[in-house]
A and B are shown apart, each in its own frame.
Chain A
């Protein structure tokens, strides 16, 4: 049976979405993305280096014809900045999609959800396909859905922390609360974390540091690919309920 992720008419080939930060070089970035099987690749918007024009361009290594480029507003701390970066990203011409970040605090990188909600509403009205990076708060997820988000992206744990799924129950409530795809964004550390997110029923996982920061990023990228696949399959298969006591797997009948 087909199990494709479709958001606002866009069909996604993989439920693993990856970032492009923290890699040694563009070559390693490209190899890790390839190994991860990801379809969506997030990128940041920054000033062109006008003094050194020989510097390489990320998009020479990550082909927009092969991958869906998802620009983000990483590093934006105000609604105004987030809107400005979003509009510039769209003008740069790869996509109407935006991974919207309005960061509230430098130490935790937790989202400023009040600013996020405002920016989501404005950008959705301007025709953007908005993916807001938010807290694992079901009420805020509902508000973002109402404001026109295309999906919500609750964090598993602080960005880059590798702590894994800290609040599976809230993610479960978000999944039951809103009628939009839920994409876990940030905080996962390894393949089992990704599998847990998918087993909960999340629609996709976005990660960066867990691959880029691993000792062997290419191998971890591949592990993440299987983590997503295994978790999704297990979710669809329907796990057994947890029970306190044993249930024998072998029959009693026929015993001596």
Chain B
């Protein structure tokens, strides 16, 4: 399966659910938020949320930044 994750195309994804994908990527679910095709997926639904070919994902977490961070919308 091919997915677009954080702006990068990833081929050969074997995970079928979001929970499996996070495991595959080595991401701890407790500290991230995930959008699939611009809609937030609730953490409680990661294990039942089925991914499909061509899905566009955004996986975000918290980084250093105060009242100074300047970054255009990625």
Contacts and interface: CB of A to CB of B under 8 A. Distances in A.
Interface size grouping (class) on chain B: 20 to 34
A88 B71 CA distance: 17
Interface residues of A, number: 51
Contacts of A208: 66-68
A88 B40 contact: yes
Interface string A31-44: 00000000000111
B11 to A, nearest CB: 14
Nearest to B40: A91
B40 A48 contact: no
Among A44, A89, A94, chain B packs the most CB atoms within 10 A around the CB of A44
B59 A212 contact: no
A185 B67 contact: yes
Contacts of B8: 50-51
Given A75-B73, A76-B73, A91-B42, A59 B62 contact: yes
A7 B5 CA distance: 38
Give the 4 A-B CB pairs with smallest separation, nearest first. A19-B66, A208-B66, A44-B65, A75-B71
Interface of A: 18-23, 26, 29, 42-48, 50-51, 53, 57-59, 69, 71-72, 74-78, 81, 87-94, 101, 106, 109, 133, 159-160, 185-186, 206-209, 212
Interface of B: 5-8, 10, 25-27, 30-35, 40, 42-43, 58-74
